[in-house]
Structures are given as C-alpha cells and as structure tokens.
C-alpha cells in the first residue's frame, strides 16, 4: 500500500493514503483487518482524507510498518459494522460538510463557478429521478428531480441549491437511523463454549467444540454449560434449564435422561453421549427460526416514506392543473418546489432519532425506529412468566414445623447451616431467608455428604440430619412421618418447591420455596391497559397450578401453561392471524422464536444472550420501563402525525401564495425551507410520555 507517514512517536503511527483512497465502508474493513493483528491495540481509518491511525504495543513498530506495507486496499472487503461513536462522528462531519459546501457555493464562489457546481449537483438528483421513472415508479425521488429541474429551467439556481441542501440533510438523517439499527442487530448468536472435555477410555482430553463427533462422550462438571444435545450415560446432576424451558429451579437428571445444549449444571458431574452435533442442537434450530423471522421483518417501510410517496402524484397533478388553467410555468413550479416530501422525511427521521435517544437515556436499547412505530399499534402483549413477570430468583415463602421440639427459626438455622455449602438456587433462597431474619448459623455439624440431585446428609449434635427432596427424605432415608405430617404434605400446593428436613430419623420441617411475581407486575399490566393494550397473555412452561396462581396475582387476561418453545411461536402467529398486533416480552432461549415472530419484541437485560440479540428492544430489568417504552412509541407517532399536519398546512399556504402571486417563487421556497427547519427543531425536543389516566 502506498502511503505518506505523517506521525510516528509514542507507539502511535498515522499515515495518509490520499483523498478518495477508500470509501467509508472500506475504512471499516481496514479497521477490522488491522485489529486482527495482535500487536495493534487500536485502529482508526478516516475516509474523508484517507488517513489511518494506529496504536501499537511497545517494540512492535517494525511489525506494524510491515503490516501497512503489505496492505492491499483493492483486496479489502467493505464492512458495514461500526461503533456508535464512529457513526455519530460521521453524521456530524457530513452535516458540517454540507453546510460548508452550501456556504462556499452561495457566498464565496464566483457566480459562474457556483452555477456549474449547482448544475453538477442537480444532475445527481435528476439522474436518480430518471432511474425511478424507467422502473415506472412515481415516488419522492421523481418529485425531488422535478422540483430541482423546474428551478434550473427557470434559472433559479439559488432556489435549486437550497432545495438540494435540505434534501441532502434529510438523506443524512435517514442513513443515520438505518445504520444505527444495523449496529445493534449485527451481533452473533452462539453458545459461549469453545472447548469441551472428551472422555476416551477413562482419559479426558480437552478439544475444540467444533471437532466433536456424534457419539463422543463429553464430561460436564458443576458450573459448566452443556455444549451438546445428548443422553447422560453416567453421573447425576441438577440441571438449570431456565434458558431453555423457563423453569427457574434446577431439575435432577441422571443416567438415561436427555440434556440439551445451552443448559447449565448447577451441581454434579455427568458424562453425556453426543446425540446431535452443535449445529443440529435444539438451540441451533431456535436460531434458525430467529433468522427466518428477521428476514421477514426487514421488508417493513417507515410510515413517512409511505405518506411522502403517496403525496407525490397529487403534487404533479396539482402542478398540471395550475399550468393548464394559468398557462404560467412559474406558478406551476411553485407546486413542485413547495413540496411536502422533504419536510415529511426529515422531520420524521429527526423525531425517530430523538425518541431513540430518549429511550437510551432511560437505559433501554432500541434496535431501530420502526420498532417504536410498531409499539404504537400494539394491542396485545404476551409475557413469558419466568424471569419476566417473576424474578427467576426463588425465595423462601413458608416454613412448616412438624415437631414441637423445633421452632421455625431453629429449623431455618439448621437448614441454612447445611445448605450454605452448595450453590443451588433453592439453597440460596434458604440461606438468604436466614440472613434476612438475622439468624446466625455457625458451622456446628460434621462434614456434609452431598448426594447429587437428591439432598444433603450430615451429623449435628450426634444426630443424623438430612435435607432434600421428598423422595430422598421419605423413601431413600425412610424418615419417620406422623399421620398429621402426611396430611400436611398432601395439602402442599404444587405451585411451590418443597425441601424436607429430617433430624434423628424424623421429619421435622418443610421449607416451601417459590418464584414470586415481580412487585410491580400488576401495576405495570394496569398501566399497559391505559396506554392502549387490550389483552395481556402469560405463557409459561410451568404446571397448570403454578401458572394459575401467578396469573391471578398479577391480573392477566389469559394464561397458557406447560407451553413448549414451538408452542409460543405458534401462539404468536395465531394471535397475528386473528388480527392482533403483538408485543412479546421474554428473557430465555425458549422465548426466542416467539420474540422473532412477534410484531415487536422486548427482552430483559438480565435474560439469555439469544433473547437479547433477537429482541427489538432490551430493557434494563425494571418492568416499569415497558410502560415507558410503550408511551415513547405512542408519543412518537403522535409527534410525527402532528408534524405531518403542520408540514401539509404550512406548505399548502406557501403553495397557494406562490400560485396566486401573493409571494414570489424564491420567497415560497425560502418559507418552505424555513418552516421545515423550524418543525425539525421542534422534533428534537423530548417527547411527553406522562401516563394518561
């Protein structure tokens, strides 16, 4: 690569390849390629002047120079991925560039040269309009070309220049919104496992996940993610499947059971026989559904483009009528020059950018203005239960004492003393409850014996203590249970997870653990109804009793229990087929197909990686933000409609003034541009999103 060295000191180099050496997209490709070099810490390529700035490790200067020398610009592939900082800088400099060129052309250049420059720019618009006409399309590009051509034909070069300046600013804002959406969407979706332990004749070898073959035995230990779909051929483990099934509590799995990629071993040690390669795993199939749904979404056009294009034929029709009845080309030109499309496009883009910025200040991430527009049309909200309407953090709801010898606090003290040794979600709930009650639980027991997927056994004050599942305590340990206790056990609701405690061979207590709804859930649902939502539905993989209990607490209109991932996707499509505009709110891998299929989708920031990648909007974790983003969507469309009315009203008056000779053509064009700028400034103001009661 040919370049001129401009700066070379303090582990920093800046070279210049010359103006026009590479495009904006190719600059991103250069940055990506250079950053692959382990010695280069930072790389910035500026297409405006063809410069490349590098920061490198100490002592690596010669290696960096060699890399630059071997760089072949013709072979670098353009890249569209860029940071928001780079994008913001590009927009700023593009606007400054247009303003400078406009000022130089109007106030500095001699009139002949300014005219030539204006004609050159005008040809770009005319060429684009002719291209659309050849495709038999009568749209905004054709109207823009006609307005510019009319000014040129009447030798109103200053007016033509003003029109083109406003159109260029509009295009910059439109390009900004599109690129911003691409940045947030251009991320990979994958299980974060690079290497696995393959068991071969009692010897474990660490290998890349990509080299795993069907039938390979893979060992997965406590805290590790299951990398493949397969069957457990040895060992016991508590598997947390919340990302796949939505169930917050770990499920015991043993030899012969099937486990799935993307789930996590909370406790235990298992060996899995690979049934499906990573590319064929259930989580990969979900990703395929996501990609297909996003392809469908990509065809949506913004409301402003629809309105602007629909008005175009009326502009030409009006100009034709004026020319027919007045025989005055100047009056007819007023209809074309004082058009509506420029204002509609630029004010809509600014309104969307302002709304997205407002959402960002609230801690949300919105992947494109179209999703805020769609929010205003949503009439049905579908919630996943676990992690969305609930916190996916089990809490101790109740302690049942079955012995006069022990109080609730004493039972909790014993349980917390034993459970604190194990990072199980239910164990954490019991330990936290003891801390909340300020119960001190010193380690007074002997060494604990953990029986994977069953419970814990130890000795306390000379008596055997066991804590765990009903099956472990009553059947495996054969603990003594009174008739009264059996009646209590029979009446325990299946909406809770029960942990049993036996001391000295007798069942003395039961701990009921639940995953409670978020405190704000009911209030949020009521607020959503006030914002225009007609139906609220809850979907969950939990049992009927558990689903019904939560539904009654939070006040949803409908609920569906024991729902599988494919079912959620189907339910969304059924609602859409019935005419509903659906917003899906979820946080697990199991929600991803439904999130992708919904008209607009929302994920919580503490949810699964896939859910966040798929969702159109990501919230910081507070459900109240769901009401806020819905109100932002409503207010955005209200603002856009208000802008449209103002643009149509003002420009109709200016157009009428030009036709009746009340104002001149230049004045009409000036007022048109001035009103567009004024409405644009108003569009930058923060939206009023106060909840209407």
pLDDT tens for residues 205-237? 888 887 888 899 999 988 788 888 899 999 988
Residue 304's pLDDT is 64
Question: Is pLDDT larger for residue 382 or for residue 519?
Answer: 382
Q: Please determine, for residue 185, whether its predicted confidence score (pLDDT) is greater than 50.
A: no
In the chain, pLDDT over 70 holds for what percent of residues?
84
Tell me the C-alpha distance between 161 and 651, whole Å: 19
Per-residue confidence (pLDDT) for residue 382, from 0 to 100: 95
Mean pLDDT of 171-184: 59
Across the range 679-693, mean pLDDT stands at: 74
* pLDDT computed for residue 287 by the predictor: 41
Predicted pLDDT at 293: 38
368-382, 498-512, 652-666, 674-688 — which one is most confidently predicted on average? 498-512
Query: Which of the pair, 631 or 192, is modelled with greater confidence?
Result: 631
Strand-pair partners of 238? 252, 267
Give the highest mean pLDDT range of 9-18, 100-109, 294-303, 375-384: 375-384
Higher pLDDT, 369 or 259: 259
Res 242: pLDDT: 60
CB atoms within 10 A of CB 18: 12
DSSP annotation string for 313-364: HHHHHHHHHHHHHH--HHHHHHHHHS-SHHHHHHHHHHHHHHHHHHHHHTT-
Would you place residue 675 in the very low, low, confident or very high pLDDT band (cuts 50, 70, 90)?
Answer: confident
Q: Residue 502 forms beta bridges with which residues?
A: 466, 507
Q: Is residue 486's pLDDT more than 80?
A: yes
- Tell which wins on pLDDT, 329 or 270: 270
Strand-pair partners of 449: 457
Q: Higher model confidence: residue 320 or residue 369?
A: 320
* pLDDT tens digits for range 529-577: 999 999 999 988 776 777 888 899 899 999 998 787 678 889 999 999 9
Asked if pLDDT for residue 603 goes beyond 90, the answer is no
Using the 8-state DSSP alphabet, how is residue 209 labeled?
G
Give CA–CA dist 598/575, Å, rounded. Answer: 10
* Contacting residues for 53 by C-beta, under 8 A, at least 6 apart: 7, 12, 13, 14, 43, 44, 45, 46
Q: Which of 167-171, 255-259, 458-462 has the lowest mean pLDDT?
A: 167-171
Which region among 384-398, 474-488, 599-613 has the lowest average model confidence (pLDDT)? 599-613
Query: What class has domain 195-278?
Result: mainly beta
Whole-number pLDDT of residue 286 = 44
Lowest-confidence region among 159-163, 521-525, 636-640, 647-651: 159-163
Tell me what pLDDT residue 399 has.
93
What is the token pair recorded at 331? 């009056």
pLDDT score, position 333:
72
Give strand pairing partners of 42.
55
CATH superfamily entry for domain 364-391+517-630: HAD superfamily/HAD-like (3.40.50.1000)
Sign of CA dihedral 429, 431, 433, 435: negative
Q: What is the pTM of this model?
A: 0.58
Calpha distance 604→10 (Å, rounded): 43
Band (pLDDT 50/70/90 cuts) for residue 433 is: very high
Cα distances from 398 to residues 176, 408, 411, 510, in angstroms, run 54, 9, 12, 8
CB atoms within 10 A of CB 53: 16
What number is the average pLDDT over the span 368-380?
A: 86
Residue 48 has pLDDT above 70, yes or no: no
Domain assignments of the chain as residue spans, ordered by start: 4-79, 102-192+293-363+631-692, 195-278, 364-391+517-630, 395-514
Query: Looking at residue 192, what is its pLDDT?
Result: 52
Please, which pLDDT band fits residue 493 given cuts at 50, 70 and 90?
low
Sequential DSSP letters for 125-179: HHHHHHHHHHTT--SHHHHHHHHHHHHHHTT-HHHHHHHHHHHHHHHHHHHHHHH
CATH of domain 395-514: 3.40.1110.10
Q: Which tokens hold the place of 28?
A: 């991103």
Q: Does domain 4-79 have CATH number 3.30.70.100?
A: yes
């Amino acid at each position: 690569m040919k370049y001129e060295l401009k700066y070379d000191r303090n582990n920093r180099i800046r070279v210049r390849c010359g103006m026009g050496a590479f495009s904006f997209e190719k600059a991103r490709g250069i940055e990506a390629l250079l950053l692959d070099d382990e010695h280069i810490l930072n790389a910035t390529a500026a297409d405006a002047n063809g410069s490349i700035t590098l920061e490198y490790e100490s002592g690596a200067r010669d290696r960096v120079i060699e890399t630059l020398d071997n760089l072949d610009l013709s072979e670098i592939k353009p890249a569209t991925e860029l940071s928001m900082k780079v994008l913001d800088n590009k927009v700023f400099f593009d606007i400054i560039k247009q303003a400078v060129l406009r000022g130089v052309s109007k106030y500095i250049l001699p009139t002949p040269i300014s005219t030539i420059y204006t004609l050159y720019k005008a040809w770009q618009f005319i060429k684009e309009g002719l291209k659309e006409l050849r495709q038999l399309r009568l749209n905004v590009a054709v109207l823009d070309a006609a307005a510019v051509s009319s000014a040129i034909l009447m030798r109103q070069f200053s007016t033509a220049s003003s029109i083109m300046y406003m159109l260029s600013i509009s295009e910059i804002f439109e390009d900004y919104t599109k690129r911003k959406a691409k940045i947030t969407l251009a991320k990979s979706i994958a299980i974060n496992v690079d290497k696995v332990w393959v068991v071969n004749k009692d010897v474990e070898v660490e290998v890349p996940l990509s080299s795993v073959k069907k039938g390979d035995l893979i060992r997965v230990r406590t805290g590790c993610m299951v990398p493949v779909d397969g069957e457990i051929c040895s060992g016991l483990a508590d598997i947390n499947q919340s990302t796949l099934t939505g169930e917050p509590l770990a499920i015991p799995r043993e030899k012969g059971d099937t486990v799935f990629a993307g789930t996590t071993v909370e406790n235990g040690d298992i060996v899995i026989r690979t049934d499906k390669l990573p590319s064929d795993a259930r989580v990969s199939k979900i990703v395929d559904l996501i990609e297909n749904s996003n392809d469908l979404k990509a065809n949506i056009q913004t409301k402003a483009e629809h309105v602007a294009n629909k008005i175009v034929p009326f502009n030409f029709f009006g100009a034709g009528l004026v020319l027919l009845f007045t025989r005055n080309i100047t009056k007819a030109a007023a209809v074309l020059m004082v058009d509506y499309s420029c204002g509609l496009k630029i004010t809509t883009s600014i309104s969307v950018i302002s709304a997205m910025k407002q959402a960002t200040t609230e801690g949300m991430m919105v992947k494109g203005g179209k999703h805020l527009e769609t929010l205003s049309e949503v009439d049905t909200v579908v919630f996943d239960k676990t992690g969305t309407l609930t916190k996916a953090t089990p809490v101790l709801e109740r302690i049942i004492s079955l012995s006069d010898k022990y109080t609730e606090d004493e039972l909790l003290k014993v349980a917390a003393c034993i459970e604190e040794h194990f990072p199980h979600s239910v164990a954490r709930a019991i330990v936290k409850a003891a801390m909340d009650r300020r119960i001190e639980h010193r380690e007074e027991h002997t060494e604990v014996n953990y029986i994977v997927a069953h419970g814990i056994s130890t000795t306390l004050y000379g008596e055997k203590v066991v804590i765990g599942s009903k099956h472990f305590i009553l059947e495996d340990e054969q603990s003594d249970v009174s008739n009264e206790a059996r009646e209590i056990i029979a009446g325990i609701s299946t909406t809770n997870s029960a942990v049993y405690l036996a001391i000295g061979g007798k069942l003395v207590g039961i701990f009921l653990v639940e995953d409670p709804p978020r405190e704000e859930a009911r209030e949020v649902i009521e607020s959503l109804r006030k914002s225009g939502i007609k139906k609220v539905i809850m979907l969950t993989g939990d049992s009927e009793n558990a689903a019904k209990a939560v539904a009654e607490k939070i006040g949803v209109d409908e609920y569906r229990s024991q729902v599988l991932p494919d079912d959620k996707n189907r339910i969304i499509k059924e609602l859409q087929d019935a005419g509903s505009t659906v917003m899906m709110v979820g946080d697990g891998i199991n929600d991803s197909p439904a999130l992708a299929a919904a008209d607009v989708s929302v994920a919580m920031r503490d949810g699964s990686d896939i859910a966040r990648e798929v969702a159109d909007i990501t919230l910081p974790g507070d459900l109240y933000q769901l009401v806020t983003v819905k109100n932002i969507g409503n207010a955005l469309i209200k603002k856009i409609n208000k802008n449209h009315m103002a643009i149509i009203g003002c420009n109709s008056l200016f157009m009428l003034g030009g036709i009746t000779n009340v104002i001149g053509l230049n004045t009409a064009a000036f007022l048109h541009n001035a009103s567009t700028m004024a409405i644009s400034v108003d569009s930058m103001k923060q939206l009023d999103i106060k909840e209407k009661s």
